[in-house]
Chain A
């Protein structure tokens, strides 16, 4: 628990979970708290160090989006519009954020919403990470308590004394009497949270960033104009990258609109690059995500992540140039998401569904492949589908089976190929066994069936039959 001097008396500034559970909350005078719980552990608050730590956190959060602002005392706002796709969507981004912070010992809460106010409220008061889609803001923050509205404690207490519990209550009340009693702040916070009133972020910027900017006398808005200026911004950036022997790994292009809104797009690259044409192409692919509104007055292009890229002589006569796929991979990654472009690689595993892993598209060649000689289907159903079978003996392949309500007679079959569960992964798989059969029906369609269990030990499986794959 932390305490600090506020106007002559010692007041609690923050309390841990245990303390909050027993009714101690920030804003309470320290003397009162200590009267109730004499053995409280109290430390002096260090606002300067807190602010510095928050700034470090905000700088770290730049990995997610180029537009990050501090939200004192303990929050960070990240504008993820135009950047969430790189992490596989908004919810995936939140999960990743919470997990990474958790690994470094920070218990974080996060949510995503259309407005700063709503995101602030949901991150602190909603249960678990939450994403409020477009137009769903009111539904998401309506049930939250009014304390979520960034009001001071005193106002919250007085509002609650009047019977306002949730944000929805406050929204349903006429504005004028409210303003008379509490000033314009509650109404303004409500409007900001619901997007009726604009609110601008004050983004932080990391030091020593390689960036180029261009301000416009006349605000621009047409896609072609933006595309042209992207070209004009990229070239000086590439010159500066070359001076420092660097290549860009991630580029942030921020658009400052005349109405004080900041929009940003981010593109990632698999390998450092500083070819102006290629970088401009990647950025231009993102133009459709920018809403110019009344116009853009400033464009800032920054290489937020760089990597060393030496000089390379091109066009020597003797050497055959290696095929460079990084341009293609980058273009696709920025269009469909970096996690959707990959290579498959062998994973040592007994079970077919676990034997295939993913590696980055441009990772060095693994040189390994799956064991040749074992029949493996072209299509693998996930999860395996239950089939009804007619089998004469437990050890023989079925005589016929019914899959998706079509009965197929088994004309030929091969097997069994016995695969064992991976006891080192889960206890439940200790004894489990699958017997795989390749079967062929009258039409020549070939299927991969398995029976769970070996027919002797009940722990090995329940003797049900499943269809796991389809052969060519």
Chain B
């Protein structure tokens, strides 16, 4: 009896999942390559064809540097062109290249205001030829995010929104619900310690604040390398390899 019910339950689960998806085919996911994170996400990675939100913590809520590089690392691991919608001109392209996102892959669309940035995002998300679309906005309403998510669903393109606010206090807005499938907060942490004076590989506190059909969690990670890959910090005992790597970079 018990085995039958388990079998029936499994069948039901599959059928419910199919109904929930509607006629949309499964778009697949992009794993982070860090088992600790991928285990945590439904489908083993960040779902393609849906919208994800990233914001910075602390001062990062204003400049969003870590959140932007975190997002750039995800896009770097996809293949194909990326549409980057922005309003401010302070994004420094060499940093994106440093996270593995080659400048030839990124098309920038500069909106005059946030409304225009959102419009560009939506237009890009409707285009199935892109690998991903990313936009920097401060306000993201439920309606706007749902539009973006639906656009991403129809094309299968990965949609990322980096939230940036004028002041750190305005970041309480991040508590408002949106239609994004996952919501991340990336804050800077003191860099990995080196045996010599200097700045080691940057570390981030990566918080998964919300995940549809998943649980929130947080990790302390080392920032994107040249291929856009994150890494778990090596424990103090066996960090010699990484420290050497970081040391070379710091000395340069």
* A439 CA / B103 CA spacing, docked (Å): 26
A249 at the interface (CB under 8 A from B): no
Q: Which residue among A329, A344, A368, A381 has the maximum number of chain B CB atoms within 10 Å of its CB?
A: A344
In the complex, chain B residues whose CB is within 8 Å of the CB of A372: 97-98, 226
Q: Which residue from A325, A379, A472 sits with its C-beta under 8 Å from B130?
A: A325
A373 at the interface (CB under 8 A from B): yes
* A284 CA / B67 CA spacing, docked (Å): 37
In the complex, chain A residues whose CB is within 8 Å of the CB of B97: 369-370, 372
* A361 CA / B81 CA spacing, docked (Å): 11
* A440 CA / B204 CA spacing, docked (Å): 13
Q: By the criterion CB–CB under 8 Å, are A340 and B90 in contact? A: no
B238 at the interface (CB under 8 A from A): no
Q: By the criterion CB–CB under 8 Å, are A438 and B199 in contact? A: yes
A25 at the interface (CB under 8 A from B): no
In the complex, chain B residues whose CB is within 8 Å of the CB of A378: 63, 65-66, 68-69, 91-92, 95-96
Q: By the criterion CB–CB under 8 Å, are B103 and A471 in contact? A: no
Name B173-209 residues within 8 Å CB distance of A. Answer: 187-191, 197-200, 202-204
In the complex, chain B residues whose CB is within 8 Å of the CB of A369: 97, 102-103
In the complex, chain B residues whose CB is within 8 Å of the CB of A414: 198-199, 250
B22 at the interface (CB under 8 A from A): no
A469 at the interface (CB under 8 A from B): yes
Interface of chain B, main secondary structure: mixed
B123 at the interface (CB under 8 A from A): yes
Chain A residue at minimal CB-CB distance from B194: A412
Q: By the criterion CB–CB under 8 Å, are A381 and B130 in contact? A: no
* A368 CA / B93 CA spacing, docked (Å): 13
* A345 CA / B102 CA spacing, docked (Å): 9
A443 at the interface (CB under 8 A from B): yes
B33 at the interface (CB under 8 A from A): no
Chain B residue at minimal CB-CB distance from A369: B97
Q: Which residue from A336, A343, A375 sits with its C-beta under 8 Å from B120?
A: A336
Name A25-63 residues within 8 Å CB distance of B. Answer: none
**Top 5 closest pairs, chain A to chain B, by CB:** A472-B69, A323-B129, A344-B93, A380-B92, A378-B65
**Residues of B near any A CB (own CB < 8 A):** 58-60, 63-66, 68-70, 80-81, 83, 89-98, 102-104, 106-112, 116, 119-120, 123-124, 127, 129-130, 187-191, 197-200, 202-204, 223-224, 226, 249-250, 252
**Selected A-B contacts with CB under 8 Å, 27 pairs:** A328-B83, A328-B123, A328-B129, A336-B112, A336-B116, A340-B110, A340-B111, A341-B109, A341-B110, A344-B103, A344-B108, A345-B104, A361-B107, A370-B103, A374-B252, A378-B66, A378-B96, A379-B63, A440-B191, A443-B58, A443-B59, A471-B65, A472-B65, A472-B70, A472-B204, A472-B223, A472-B224
20 more A-B residue pairs beyond the given contacts A413-B199, A446-B202, A472-B70, with a C-beta to C-beta distance below 8 A: A340-B111, A341-B108, A342-B110, A343-B103, A343-B106, A343-B108, A346-B103, A365-B104, A369-B102, A370-B98, A379-B92, A412-B191, A412-B197, A414-B199, A443-B59, A444-B187, A445-B59, A470-B63, A472-B65, A472-B223
